[in-house]
Amino acid sequence: MQETVRRVCAWWGRSTPPHLLLIANPCSGKGRSLSLLNSCLLPALQDAAGFKVTVHKTAGPAHATELLAGADLAGVDMVLLLGGDGTVFEGLQGLMCRPDWEAACKVPFAHLPGGSGNGLAASCGLWDAPTAAVSVVKGHTAPLDITSVVQPSTGRRYYSFLSLVFGLFANLDIGTEHQRWLGDARYTLKGLQQAAAVPVHPMRVAYLSVEPLLPQTNSTEAAASTAGAGDVHAALLTQHSESSDRAGRRGGGGIGGGAPPLKSAAPPGSGTCGGGEGAGGDGLACGPPLPLLAAWRAGEAAATAVGGADASSGSAAAVP
């Protein structure tokens, strides 16, 4: 592997080695993340590639949030999070609550799979730590959208990079935090319990209709009539993102506005279903694309980082 790293490494076309900020969760993956760090990642990134790597280890829940919220990102070329999806989630919250969150989002942000659940890395084709290490070394970037949701009970805004779940799947995750020692088996056991209990979760869903978002200008209409589906979708996302920006932002570093109170009527142009209160969201795009690591499968285990490429469309970019 180190020979592969040496072969593809060019310091991203620079004359000085890139500086990586690596936040590692020593408890992820039943403790195997530190083994990956010492046996695979540091030898590849430091020894073979010659990168400068600053390592911080989390000491407990939400520590990754604290570390990234207060980190000095000046001179940092990429943020790496070693652990599972929970570690990446914590890091994302820290990144987005920063007063300089807009500038912080321009720093490439990568998931090194080392937890029991590595959905983000897997969705990018990064099935293991060696593949992720080669991806970091190659350093290609592409944008990725994030979304946000407000918890009505606390008014706190959370940011999501993979999915938002309600009911059964939320219970599988949150309801088994105390059973992490079981590994993946905790999800199976909780799933069987939920299937037997058949819990009911009342909710109300509001959704935006497509018609109010349709482009009005002749140039956009012409582009939509001749472009592919992805281009039309990008135009809608861009238009909605601009209207959301005009609605304003709240907090020192969060993106706010757009979500109606749960007890209020649905906004004009939207539809509703369900009888409960449920959860409210922010519609489509809620802010600038977050840099992330992506990968493509070719003859070699080469991948693509994800970061500040052309993000004007506000939609995820596929990497060829």
Q: Which distant-in-sequence residues (6+ apart) come within 8 Å of 144 by Cβ?
A: 161, 289, 290, 291, 292, 294, 306, 316, 317
Radius of gyration for the chain, computed over Cα atoms and rounded to the nearest angstrom:
21
> Among 119-133, 155-169, 238-252, which is the least confidently predicted range?
238-252
**Which residues are paired to 52 by β-bridges?**
19
C-alpha 70/C-alpha 62 separation (Å) is 13
pLDDT tens-digit series, residues 277-312: 333 333 333 334 445 544 333 333 333 333 333 322
Q: Which residues contact 133 (CB under 8 A, 6 or more apart)?
A: 1, 5, 40, 41, 44, 45, 112
Q: Helix 63-70 to helix 85-96 angle, to the nearest 10 degrees?
A: 40
CATH class label, 2-146+288-304: alpha beta
First to last CA, the chain: 23
82: phi then psi, degrees, rounded to nearest 5:
-100, 115
Q: pTM for the full model?
A: 0.63
pLDDT in tens, 29-51: 888 899 999 999 999 999 888 99
What's the mean pLDDT in 92-111? 92
Angle 229-246/218-226 helices, nearest 10 degrees? 150
Q: How far is CA 151 from the centre of its chain?
A: 18
Any idea which residues carry the catalytic annotation?
Answer: 85
What is the residue extent of each domain of the chain?
2-146+288-304, 167-200, 204-281
